[in-house]
Structure 1
């Protein structure tokens, strides 16, 4: 059996499958269709392959609802955005009658759209599976040629009424779900816009040999509250911080902006990171949604070659020395913001560095994975940092994102700051 499987003609197998299947590219152009699909749609292969789906099957302008094409487009869009299959409820989608001069045949379908992912994790193809439900609808739900017993009104039959009601409710539920998806997509767009507006654009990156990367979460509802900031304190000193607000959506983006602004102000006037985080903790207690926010701040002195840092529950920054030894800056870690019943002073630590070392700050989306302990992700980042430390900071940032799987999308936001000291 194993030996025989090596000689399967998969093209012939696809064509022989009795389920109607078509293959589309991301532009919704037919790449292939099997014989069952051609039979059920009444088309030849030459009429389908290489042409856009909605050109081959344009929507019926006389359909009173005309929702089939709109719903099908929405399903394809979800597949392309999420990389996941999408099963649709029963849809009416009339087909043009070949040679019928604008004439359409009323048809009902049960579609399932399934992505085929490419090597980079994006959707390369979509398999469109359709089941023709026209006969069932006509026979059971009162279609145009549905049978009725002699002297019997089809819609007085209680079983058929129940089926028709179920069909109507399914369509209604589908429409409500689509409205919710659109509302969530609008919220996502607004939150992303707000998030980008609140993150700093003009940072002293070139002067400080710094590179910044930000990767939003994959999925329409996963806007989170990660932030980063960098400010000049003097010619020889500058400060950098990253943080992560608990929660998602507009509220998290709003809280993120307020906390980032407050910390940015505190960084300019406080006597060191610990004092800045103490002031931020006081502010967070008056801000709804700020509870359990994590953040870390580092003051960098390029004259004395020292790093002074303090952390409010955040993952430890990493310092990669010229000998590729990676040091975790975890000697001044305290609880997240507003986590104590009363505010208290924060710890602070100082470490030295050799010029040419590389400092990395990040949020948990870079290293945290649901199926493994956080230590595994931290070790992965440390090993990658040691491996790429000789690169330019921009290249280091890109290499770290690639090695940690960020370019194919994650369930959480990730902020990354790379500084060559």
Structure 2
């Protein structure tokens, strides 16, 4: 029998060490919110492939849609011979996105491609080159996307100089002692010291930071960014790669605000486990790039587009936005009870909209000092006990929960029970 240890040994010989791994497990099969490793052990999945399977592993409707498309054809390259699933998906997303005015969409394969192409589109539309992002933000691992990412280790360390003309504003969180007013003041410093607003093509921000620790952008900041962008002709880009498609209780996290962006980057749960990403935006901005300036050989693959159309159907038919709120409330209620116990590791700041829930592990409840070492131990204890769990955060002390929105209450409760045991002091 193949074991996890066997495959880990083979991995270490054959696969570069630059690709990290949270657990030493190797998957054999998965269904909804459960996963089995190659040794037959069952796990509750609170990671969801890093927010990719909001509709659960192997949802039968999505699998059926892909199988039907597979029989027809698997690839033509949309730039060579177009196909209806790509066009139909663009039409549906254009009708759904919380952006005013006529919209257009373009599809790619990865989240990094989405953020990078959003910057390209903004540059084409404005004739400018500068970009402003935020500390703690994660926008991908390509050269431009990693330049946008507001965290050095592990995304930039030792990988050479970043792309020029990218500036970072401190993201407002209580933990980092930064207020929305501080962030706006720093943005003004950039405009005065480094780059006139007339040089800035785009401001990119995650409505809720993913890798940065599940911190939501305060409404006052989002409104201010919209005003700044309108005043100076800057394109506002919402990176919804991790928040998108129901995780926050809204189809798009930007629906929590009374202002909209110019462009939205999407990926992850868009296609229920099949590689697909995209940019949705105002038609005049989206059309700024010349023909051939956007696209890719595998961009908008027909199998992935068919899966995405099925994902949107599942959201409607199973009312997954409502389910996200129910799951989120269930998670927060249990974690808030845990927070008050002194026989468990101290945790703080249970947070997150919808089912995008996180909390911090701290050394003590008085100082609130981050405890990254304890967080790492909790993740290890969890998978040893049958729960796949992820950490994140600028201080590496945040536990995030990304259980599929299709998970039954009993599975959610089982995962929370294991998490509680992993927090034992």
TM-score (norm 2): 0.23
Say which structure is richer in strand: 1
Q: Which has the larger radius of gyration?
A: 1
Q: Larger relative contact order (C-alpha < 8 A, sep ≥ 6)? A: 2
